[in-house]
Amino acid sequence: MQGSPPMKDKNPEIEALLPAVYDELRRLASSYLRRERDAQSLQPTALVHEVYLRMLHDKPMLFQDRAHFCAIAATTMRRILVERARARHALKRGGPAPRVTLDESLAEDTSGQRGTTHGHTAVDILALDQALERLEAMDPARARIVELRYFGGLSVEETARELDMSPATVKRHWSVARAWLARELQ
Amino acid sequence: MSDWARVSSILERALDLPPGERDRFFTREAGADAALLDELRALSRSYDQAEASAFIDRPLAAAEPDLILNTLHPGQRIGSYEILAEAGRGGMGVVYRARDTRLGRDVAVKCVAEGASPSQKARLENEARMAARISHPAIATVYALEEEPSTGSGQGGGQLFLISEFVDGETLRARVSKGPIAGPELARFAKAIAHGLAAAHREGVAHGDLKPENIIVRPSGDIKILDFGLAETRTGVAPLAAADAVAGTPGYMAPEQLRGQPADARADVFAYGVLLFEMATGRHPFAGDRGSMLEAALSNRAAFDTHELPAAIAAIVARCLAPDPSNRFSTAAELASALETALASSTRVATASRAVWWFLAHQRIVAALVAAMPIVAWIARPAFSRPWGSLVFLLTLAGATAVVALRLNADFIAREHPSELRRHLDAVGRRMWMAELALDACAMAAGMALADRLDWAAGLLFGGGVASIIALSVIEPATTRAALRAISRERPRRD
C-alpha cells in the first residue's frame, strides 16, 4: 500500500483531471479558511460543491454529469488527505523528518485542536484508507458512500442525491460500512 | 463475497431493531451457522461503539482542517523549483522538499497557507530577511523569497515561498524525548547552538522562538537552528508580537516576553537556558502543566533544580534563566564564551583531580610501606646481638613515625587545602624526604645485618628500603609536579 495511490483503479480520466481539481480545491480551501478562520470548521461539502460549480462553468466538457464530478472530487479529496496524513505521520514517527520549521505548539495554542477534535477520537487515517480499500474490493457501493461522506464531505441527503438512492438506504449502508471499518481499525 | 452480502443485509435489518432484540434476530437468521452468528454479534458491537464515539461522523477535512491548508502536489513547480514531497506541516504553513532544477540541488520550500492572515505572511517575509543576514554553519541558509501570483480570482494577493537550505535529520525535540544528552555530545550541541545564536546576535538578530522543535540534529551530528519567523532586530523593526495572538512558545518565553514587554537577545538567552536544561536532563526546567510553567517562569524564584545538571553547566543554566534580563548574559556571544570556558575547565578539573588522586595514592602507599618497617624490626629484634635489636627497632620506629605523620599531613593538605600544598611542600618536604632517606638507610643496614640469620626480615627491610628510595627519587617528583600543576591551574577558576 505504502506509496501506491489510494485508489484501486487508476482511472486515466481522473488522473488527467487531478491537477485541475487540486488547484481548485486548494484555492477554495484557502478562501474558506480565510473566511472561516474563527468559525469552528471548514465545510467540505460547500467546498466540493463550489469546486463542482466552478469547474462545470470553466470546463463543462470534462464531466458527464454531477455524479461523475462528485465521484472525482471525493476521490481526489481522499487522495490529497491521505497524502497529507502520511506526511504528517512520517513526521510524528520522528523518522526521516526533514523540515525547516514547524510551529506545532503555536498551532496548538491558537486553534486548540489537533489530533483530537471536538471530543472525537483521532482516526488513524492511513489505516482507515487501507481498510476502505478492502471494503471496496468486497462491497464497492458501500465503500463509495464512505468515500463521498468521509473524504468528500457530503451529507446523507447529498450522498443520496448523487447516488440516486433514498437517504434511508444511504444511512443504513453507511451504518454497516462504518461498523465494519470500526472493527477493522480496532 | 456472498458471505458479506448476507452479513450486511442481516445487519442492516437488525440495526432498525431495538438493541435488546437484535441478538434474537441474529440467532434466528443465522440458524445453525455459528460463524455467521459470531460475525453478526461482533459487527453489532462495533456498530454500537462507532455510534458512541461518533466514529468518522465528521468529514475528515472538517475534523482536521490542517490537512487541506495547502495543497501543492508533487510535480508542481514554483518558479524553477519542483515540489518533490511534503516534508512537514504545522499551524503556520507547510514545508516541502523540492528540487532546484536550475542548480540541481534539493531545497526546502516553506509557504504559509494561502488564506493566511497578513501577519502570517509578514512573519514569513520577516523570517527570510532575518535569516538571510546570518551566515553560520549552525543556521539554515536562506536562498530566496519567491512570490507567485494567486491561482485564484486575485483575492488576498500572491503566495509567498521561502526557499532555503534543505536540512534533513531529527528535531532536537525528538532527540531529547529519547532521554538526556550527556558528555561530549551535550557539550557539542550546547556549543553549536550557542555559537549559531551568537552569530545571529552579532548581526543584530534575536531569534525570538528558540525551542527544541526549531533545532535539527543532522545525521552527521551537526546542528541547525531554524525558523526565524519571530526574529527581531535590535534596531527595532515593528515587533511581530503585537500582530500575532501568541508570538513565541510558552515554556521557552522569557518572563518579559510573557508579560508582553519588549524582548531582545536576552530572551533568546533565557530560551537557551531552558533548552540546555532540557538537553542535559531530558526534562523541562519548569515542570508541570503549562499554567504552573508560566507561573514558575514569571515568578522571581528558581523553580528548577540545578543539582540535576552537570556541575560544569549548572551555573550557566541558572544565569540564563534569571527572571531579570539584566542578570542574564547580555548576548549569546557572552554566553558562548562562558560555556567554552566552563566546558574546557570541566575537562581540566577531571584531569586535575586524576593527578591529585595519584599524589594522594602515593602518600598513602609510602606511609603504609614505611609503617610496616618498625613492625618487622620488632619481630626481628631477637636475631640481633644484644643492644642492636632494640636500637634498630627504636630508630626505625622514630623514622617511620615522622615519615608517616608528614605523609598523612601532605595527604590531608592536598585534599582539603590544595592551594596550600606547594607552600607546605616547600617548607617541610625536604625534611620529610631526609627523614625517609635516613629511615631507608637504617632499614637497609638492618636488613644486611640480618642476612643469613633471619632471611625473610632481611629481605623485607632491605627491599622496603630500596623500594622507598626509588619511590622517593623517581616516582614522587613526577606525581608531585603533576599534582601541583593541576592544582594551580584549577585554582583561579574557583571564585
Tell me the chain A residues in contact with residue B40 when contact means C-beta distances shorter than 8 Å: none
CB contact under 8 A, A106 and B249: yes
One-letter amino acid for residue A134 of the chain: R
| CB atoms B88 and A98 under 8 Å | yes
Rounded CA separation B100/B103 (Å) = 6
- How many beta carbons lie within 10 A of that of residue A79, not counting itself? 20
Residues of A in contact with B47 (CB under 8 A): 175-176, 178-179, 182
Residue B293 C-alpha, separation from nearest chain A C-alpha, in angstroms = 15
C-beta atoms of B47 and A179 within 8 A: yes
Summarize pLDDT for B94-141 with one digit per residue, the tens.
788 999 999 999 999 988 755 566 777 777 888 788 888 888 999 988
- CB nearest B91 (choices: A84, A111, A117): A111
Q: Cβ B170–A97 below 8 Å, yes or no?
A: yes
Distance from CA of A132 to the nearest CA of B (A): 12
Most B-contacting residue of A101, A138, A175 (CB-CB within 10 A), to test interface: A101
> Cα–Cα distance between B137 and B135 in angstroms, integer?
7
A108 Cα to chain B: minimum distance (Å): 8
> Of B56-70, B351-365, B371-385, which range is least confident?
B56-70
Alpha-carbon distance of B284 to B293, in angstroms, equals: 9
Which chain A residues are within 8 Å of B44, Cβ to Cβ? 179
pLDDT per residue over B430-476, tens digit each? Answer: 888 888 898 898 888 888 888 888 888 889 889 989 988 988 888 88
B147 phi and psi angles, rounded to 5 deg: -125, 130
Whether residue B42 and residue A85 make contact (CB cut-off 8 A), yes or no, is no
Element (H, E) at B82: strand B81-90
Per-residue pLDDT of A126-150, as tens digits, reads 899 999 999 999 999 999 999 999 9
pLDDT band at B19 (very low <50, low <70, confident <90, very high): confident
Smallest CA–CA separation between B187 and chain A, in Å?
Answer: 23
Residue that wins the pLDDT comparison between B345 and B493? B345
SS3 content of chain B, % helix, strand, coil (to 5): 60, 10, 30
B312 has a pLDDT exceeding 70 = yes
| Angle, vertex CA A19, rays to CA B166 and CA A157, nearest 5 | 120
Task: Answer whether B71 sits within 8 Å of A101, measured CB to CB.
Answer: no
- Contact, B331 vs B265, CB < 8 A? yes
Residue B298 pLDDT level (bands cut at 50, 70, 90): low
Under 8 Å between Cβ of A144 and A126? no
Does residue B34 surpass a pLDDT of 80? yes
Contact list in A for residue B73 (CB cut-off 8 A) is: 18-19, 22, 80, 83
pLDDT value, residue B240: 42
Q: Look at residue B153 in the predicted model and tell me its pLDDT.
A: 40
Disruptive mutation site among B15, B46, B225, B252 for chain A (greatest number of A CBs within 10 Å):
B46
Residue pLDDT, tens place only, A32-84: 555 544 444 455 666 666 666 666 666 666 666 667 777 777 887 788 778 77
Please tell me which of B65-74, B78-87, B339-348 the model is most confident about, judged by mean pLDDT.
B78-87
State the pLDDT at residue A9. Answer: 47
For B50, the closest of A30, A173, A179 (CB atoms) is: A179
Helical segments of B206-310, H only: 255-258, 265-281, 290-298
Q: Is B160 helix (H, G, I), strand (E, B) or coil?
A: strand
Q: Per-residue pLDDT for B41 more than 70?
A: yes
pLDDT given at position B242: 40
Kindly report the nearest CA distance between residue B151 and chain A, in angstroms.
Answer: 7
B305 is catalytic: no
Measuring CA to CA, which residue among B91, B123, B122, B93 is closest to residue B108? B93
Q: Which of A91, A96, A154 sits opposite B168 (nearest CB)?
A: A96
Is A153's CB within 8 Å of B69's CB?
no
Of residues B202, B263, B256, B254, the one with CA closest to residue B232: B263
The shortest CB-CB distance from B164 to any of A25, A100, A149 is to A100
- Residue A128's pLDDT is what? 93
Say which of B3, B33, B209, B426 is annotated catalytic: B209
* Closest B-chain CA to A22: B71
* ipTM confidence score: 0.71
Which chain B residues are within 8 Å of A57, Cβ to Cβ? none
Average pLDDT over residues B265-275: 91
Whole-structure pTM value: 0.53
Contacts of A158 in chain B (CB under 8 A): none
Alpha helices in B149-289 (DSSP H): 172-177, 183-202, 255-258, 265-281
Angle, helices A44-58/A12-36, rounded to nearest 10 degrees: 120
The residues pairing with B107 across neighbouring beta strands, listed in sequence order, are B98, B165
d(CA A74, CA B371) in angstroms, rounded, equals 94
pLDDT digits (tens, 9 = 90+) for B156-211: 456 788 899 998 888 898 899 888 888 888 989 999 999 999 998 888 888 888 88
Say whether B65 and A41 touch across the interface (CB within 8 A).
yes
Facing residues of B231 across strands?
A: none
The stretches of B18-140 forming alpha helices (DSSP H) are 19-30, 34-53, 60-63, 118-133
Beta bridge mates, B147? B160
d(CA B43, CA A181): 9
Whether A104 sits inside 8 A of B91 (CB atoms) is: yes
- Is A182's CB within 8 Å of B50's CB? yes
Instruction: Tell me which residue in B67, B110, B174 faces A94 most closely, judged by beta carbons.
Output: B174
The predicted model gives B482-494 an average pLDDT of 65
Considering only CB atoms, B61 lies closest to which of A22, A81, A173, namely A81
Task: Give ∠ CA B443-B445-B448 in degrees, rounded to 5.
Answer: 110
For residues B212 and A35, which has the higher predicted lDDT (pLDDT)?
B212
Q: Is the model's pLDDT at B38 over the cut of 70?
A: yes
Query: Are A88 and B55 a contacting pair at CB < 8 A?
Result: no
Mutation target for A interface from B13, B55, B207, B228: give the one with most A CBs within 10 A. Answer: B55
DSSP lists the bridge partners of residue A152 as none
Residue among B49, B1, B58 nearest A181 (CA)? B49
Per-residue pLDDT at B85: 82
